[in-house]
Amino acid sequence: MEPIQLGDQQTKPKKSKLKIIIWVIVVIVLIFVVVQYLNAAKYEALVQVVNSDKIGVNPTGERLDFGDLPHDKSAVRSVILQSQGNTGAYVMVFKTGDISDLMKVSRNYFTLKPHTTEKLEISVYVPNSAEFRYYKGKVMIFQIPKVW
């Protein structure tokens, strides 16, 4: 008969409880990330680099359409952020797509105080090295409630 080791039996329940706690934390973090992604303001961004000296302006709507721009020119679009609650929000702006290299955001990674409005300017500059084509992408603006 082999002796029973009590130390092994005591560590197994601790390990399984630890695994459950870790999985619960991972699930909570994933739910938080998904909710923040779904609540983020998402804008399509577009610019057409043209071979002329004329700038074509497109009407703004739900997209950040910078129109038709020749080399060495720029355009600016604005997004208004509001904090209507009693809690501030931590703002993060992410750019994706091939337009992101041409794009600059006026402010990023900042706190929007409660009951305030902030104008966020997004500009596109077309360098002389840019190809004559459409550049597309997305801008995602996350406003995470600041509870800390």
Distance CA 124, CA 103 (A): 4
Asked whether residue 7 is domain-assigned, the answer is: no
Asked whether residue 119 is domain-assigned, the answer is: yes
**What are the pLDDT digits (tens) for 83-101?**
888 888 999 999 999 999 9
pLDDT band of residue 54 (cuts 50, 70, 90) is confident
Residue 34 sits in a domain whose CATH number is 2.60.40
Asked whether residue 4 is domain-assigned, the answer is: no
Asked whether residue 28 is domain-assigned, the answer is: yes
Q: How many domains does the chain have?
A: 1
Asked whether residue 104 is domain-assigned, the answer is: yes
**What are the pLDDT digits (tens) for 98-128?**
999 999 999 999 999 999 999 999 999 999 9
Asked whether residue 39 is domain-assigned, the answer is: yes
